[in-house]
């Protein structure tokens, strides 16, 4: 008796990985922080996208030496959510994202979305990806700690019924790759969120592709036999 | 008779190096290209900022397979300039930029700005840097080929009366570092334009700092004795 050969499962980050939304997040954070009296260079905000919103604000505060109360931090996060929502119509799926997910579904490879974003911002992305509303997705609302903690990816693997070691995390930021390693999964990087190849490799990504379209063209490199 | 010990001269890129304007350029290019029927992922545009506008459009066209006439390319460039001009009020000097330039001036170290941008977009940045209107600056209008050709930096060195080999180019993009090498100058990278440290190092940057403030704190590493 031999077990059937198993494909890895895929745990996908959302922003910058499946949808081209990183710059809209950057702009929304910059404005929300500015309203709270915190002026920051844009690149510093970009480099924090993908981590939990609370941690992002704390990290940026510690760099600037500014102190905000817990309520003020919540206010910044809620302004970010509002400002981001205003820009949702300008966001498009990344090239190949819909095709990649459709291909995995068609060939029986398990996959799920796991995002540090809240459900309110993440759910509208499903339509852009031509996915049904009940597509499996773990959001920040469902875990105590978002990336770079491993909880999102561990919950996502559990939802699929796979071990984290048998899953690959696909993400655009070093927070995805760090959370993947902490969960015991293999990280795959995409350049479509604006990080450089070397940063993702140095963080520990097993492979780096330009975007979902390029990953779809190289699935055999990830052990997918179809 | 010994010659007085000479400091290196500094040739500064502008966008992403002295002013926090890269994301405004990205957004303006994205919109100008979209109006011409070219939908591109934002990160692909970001990675081209800093090269000449004509080359940027050609490079993006060749990636997408779209063809535009010479007039249409000019139209995209002119729309970019308009859309960028609308956002100029949102642009700020990068941390330490004014202090760094003032320090160099005070200690007699020659410096000049050399930008792939046109004078119309670049001149308004001088006020943001607390610099007089007649600050020495070489813009795209004054050379046949902008970065990554070496012409801008060679003209800049000539304007200062120094040899390119005795000058350091300070820039945020790999186009600056490439143009520096082609000019025979040493490249110094800044992270403030959104590139990663490893990309700039791999392109050949001698040192990489976070932003002008960090460079000011490490001028001794660049051979500046003050």
pLDDT at B3 over 80: no
Rg, chain A, Cα only: 17
Is residue B31 less than 8 Å (CB to CB) from chain A?
Answer: no
pLDDT of residue A128: 97
B199/A41 Cβ within 8 A: no
Cα B184 to Cα B169: distance, rounded to the nearest angstrom:
10
Model confidence pLDDT, tens digit, residues A102-150: 999 999 999 999 999 999 999 999 999 999 999 999 999 999 999 999 9
Residues in chain B with CB shorter than 8 Å from the CB of A198 are 196, 198-199, 202
Nearest C-alpha neighbor of A82 from the set A42, A53, A56: A53
Q: With contact defined as beta carbons under 8 Å apart, do B80 and B145 qualify? A: no
Cα B70 to Cα B81: distance, rounded to the nearest angstrom:
17
Is residue A204 less than 8 Å (CB to CB) from chain B?
Answer: no
Residues in chain B with CB shorter than 8 Å from the CB of A66 are none
Q: From the CB of residue A61, how many other CB atoms can be counted at a distance below 10 Å?
A: 19
Q: Give chain B's mean pLDDT.
A: 94
Q: Where are the alpha helices (DSSP H) in B6-69?
A: 22-35, 42-46, 53-64
Q: Where are the alpha helices (DSSP H) in chain A?
A: 22-35, 42-46, 53-64, 70-86, 97-106, 119-122, 125-128, 151-160, 174-183, 197-203, 212-216
Cα B136 to Cα B90: distance, rounded to the nearest angstrom:
24
The average pLDDT across A94-108 equals 97
Q: pLDDT above 70 covers what percent of chain A?
A: 97
B95/A46 Cβ within 8 A: no
Q: pLDDT above 70 covers what percent of chain B?
A: 97
B202/A41 Cβ within 8 A: no
Q: Considering only the beta carbons, identify the residue of A43, A196, A198 that sits closest to B192.
A: A43
Which residue of chain B is at minimal alpha-carbon distance from A172?
B43
Cα B107 to Cα B95: distance, rounded to the nearest angstrom:
20
Task: Give how far A4 is from chain B: nearest CA, Å.
Answer: 39
Cα B152 to Cα B118: distance, rounded to the nearest angstrom:
12
The average pLDDT across B52-62 equals 90
pLDDT of residue A5: 59
Which residue of chain A is at minimal alpha-carbon distance from B48?
A194
Cα B100 to Cα A17: distance, rounded to the nearest angstrom:
37
The average pLDDT across A169-180 equals 97
The average pLDDT across B72-101 equals 95
pLDDT of residue A22: 95
**Burial call B116-153: b when 16+ CB within 10 Å, e when fewer:** bbbeebbeebbebbebeeeeebbbbebbeebbbbbbbb
- DSSP label at B18? T
Q: What band does A7 get if pLDDT is binned at 50, 70 and 90?
A: confident
Q: With contact defined as beta carbons under 8 Å apart, do B141 and B120 qualify? A: no
Two structure tokens written together for B33: 């290209």
Is residue A120 less than 8 Å (CB to CB) from chain B?
Answer: no
Q: With contact defined as beta carbons under 8 Å apart, do A15 and A21 qualify? A: yes
Could you give the strand order of the β-sheet that contains A186-190, starting from the edge strand earlier in sequence? A137-138, A111-114, A9-12, A167-171, A186-190, A207-209
Is residue A65 less than 8 Å (CB to CB) from chain B?
Answer: no
Helix (H, G, I), strand (E, B) or coil at B40: coil
Secondary structure of B72-129 in HEC code, one letter for each residue:
HHHHHHHHHHHHHHHCHHHCCECCCHHHHHHHHHHCCCCEEEECCCCHHHHCHHHHHC
Residues in chain B with CB shorter than 8 Å from the CB of A38 are none
């Amino acid at each position: 008796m031999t077990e059937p050969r198993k494909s890895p499962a895929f745990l996908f980050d959302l922003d910058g990985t499946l949808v081209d939304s990183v710059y809209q997040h950057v702009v929304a954070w910059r404005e929300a922080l500015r309203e709270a009296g915190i002026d920051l260079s844009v690149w510093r905000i970009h480099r924090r996208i993908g981590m939990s919103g609370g941690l992002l604000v704390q990290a940026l505060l510690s760099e600037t030496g500014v102190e905000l109360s817990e309520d003020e931090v919540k206010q910044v996060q809620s302004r970010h959510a509002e400002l981001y929502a205003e820009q949702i119509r300008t966001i498009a799926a990344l090239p190949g994202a819909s095709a990649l997910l459709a291909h995995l579904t068609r060939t029986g490879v398990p996959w799920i979305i796991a995002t540090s974003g809240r459900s309110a911002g993440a759910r509208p992305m499903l339509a852009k990806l031509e996915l049904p509303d009940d597509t499996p997705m773990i959001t920040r609302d469902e875990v105590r700690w978002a990336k770079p903690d491993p909880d999102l990816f561990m919950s996502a693997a559990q939802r699929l019924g796979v071990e984290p070691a048998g899953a690959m995390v696909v993400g655009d930021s070093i927070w995805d790759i760090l959370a993947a390693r902490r969960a015991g999964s293999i990280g795959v990087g995409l350049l479509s969120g604006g990080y450089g190849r070397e940063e993702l490799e140095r963080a520990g990504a097993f492979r780096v592709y330009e975007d979902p379209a390029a990953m779809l063209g190289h699935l055999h490199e990830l052990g997918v036999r179809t």
